[in-house]
Amino acid sequence: MVNVTVWNENRHEQKNPVVRDIYPEGIHGAIANFLKEDQVQVKTATLDDPEHGLTEEVLNSTDVLIWWGHLAHNEVDDVIVEKVKQRVLEGMGLIVLHSGHFSKIFKTLMGTTCDLKWREANDKERLWIIDPSHPIVEGIGEFIELEEEEMYGEHFDIPAPDQLIMMSWFSGGEVFRSGCTYQRGKGKIFYFRPGHETYPTYHNEEIQKVIKNAVKWAKPTDRNMPVYGNAKPLENI
């Protein structure tokens, strides 16, 4: 069984009734609920929990961490960010959603500004699948269409993805690399663009399917991990 922790800043839900109406149990609650339909063990954690809900015990027992943040990236303690980073390097999967592009953990792992263009104007978004054989898009058609979303546009200041799975088109004319994978150390990272808080994006079944697939893809690989440092020869030399 895969152990998933869904982390959410959980601030829009407290401040904005529109967001609370769409996600009465919070964005973390909505994501946890659909993940529970799969054979996964799900916990949630939020910014205002002690240690942001990411204690050593929680992190050590998490196979895949999902991250949603926006308003309060700077309130995330650097000590916790470092612990999350170490766990990713050890093999924990990380799925960064939407405005998590500006989170400390994502910027640290990418090493770039992760900046982009944006607009809140009810653009239509069409996410084209450009790597149809990738397990993250299993069960998805040629594209996913979202009637209304926030626009994110290129240039997106990220390192070239290891795998580019989706490319978004917006009705205002912009494009965006919206499904990107990276490996850092032994950990697998997936960035997935949609999910602005004032739209019901996480209630969309295809978006849910992508996140469910991503959990399976990002879970740690079960094998003996490499040994580093001074090494005895395997042959007589």
Footprint on this chain of Zn ion (rule: CB under 5 A): 99, 150, 196
Residue number of the CB atom closest to Zn ion: 196
CB atoms within 10 A of CB 169: 18
Q: Are 211 and 201 in contact (CB under 8 A)?
A: no
Is 70 or 209 the residue whose CB approaches Zn ion more closely?
70
Least separation in angstroms between residue 116's CB and Zn ion is 11
Least separation in angstroms between residue 14's CB and Zn ion is 16
Is 71 or 175 the residue whose CB approaches Zn ion more closely?
71
Q: Which two tokens stand for residue 36?
A: 């529970």
Sheet holding 175-184, edge to edge: 40-46, 2-8, 64-68, 93-97, 187-192, 175-184, 163-170, 117-129, 143-153
Is 83 or 196 the residue whose CB approaches Zn ion more closely?
196
Calculated CA dihedral for residues 60, 50, 76, 160, nearest 10 degrees:
20
Least separation in angstroms between residue 19's CB and Zn ion is 11
Per the listing, tokens 């926006």 go with: 70
Is 8 or 99 the residue whose CB approaches Zn ion more closely?
99
Least separation in angstroms between residue 85's CB and Zn ion is 24
